[in-house]
Amino acid sequence: MRLQVSRVEKAVYMKILRYGALGIDNETLCAEMEEEGCPPAAVKGAVKKLLKPKHVSDTQGTSASIRFKEIPGTRKMRVEAEEVVPGHAVVWVGGRWRARLLPENHVGPKELIKKGMRFNALCSLYYDEVLI
């Protein structure tokens, strides 16, 4: 059982990341992961395992969501990857600004930076002589 939980853990974490702070109901998560071939017991074990180091938060045992920290100088914004090229990614931030996301400025799973992926992130925008 522990082996199944550790195999399913990353897939569950990526699924929860896609839903962001809004979270996903545990029943919905189990149903979606079961379609991908993951047993519900392993999914529940993976969520419990992610709760321990506080990677995710659990709202009264009914839904899993991502914890957002309060970091001075940042705002929570919606980020959408438009294009990934060697050395950076072109993203839309907050639906208003087109920006360049450099690898050294991204702290998170690299699986989120793929064309068309959307996620919530704590952002601080800065102007770089030529680019924003």
Do residues 65 and 16 lie in contact, with contact meaning Cβ atoms separated by under 8 Å? Answer: yes
CA gap 107, 82 in Å, rounded: 18
Stated pTM of the model? 0.62
Rounded-to-10 torsion of CA 71, 52, 30, 70: -10
User: Minimal CA–CA distance to 32: which of 14, 57, 48, 51?
Assistant: 14
Q: For residue 131, what pLDDT is reported?
A: 55
Contact 46, 12 (CB under 8 A): yes
% the chain with pLDDT above 90: 33
Instruction: Give the residue among 8, 118, 15 at the shortest CA–CA distance from 64.
Output: 15
Domains in the chain, please, with CATH? 2-66 (1.10.10), 75-123 (no CATH)
What's the whole-number mean pLDDT along residues 97-118? Answer: 88
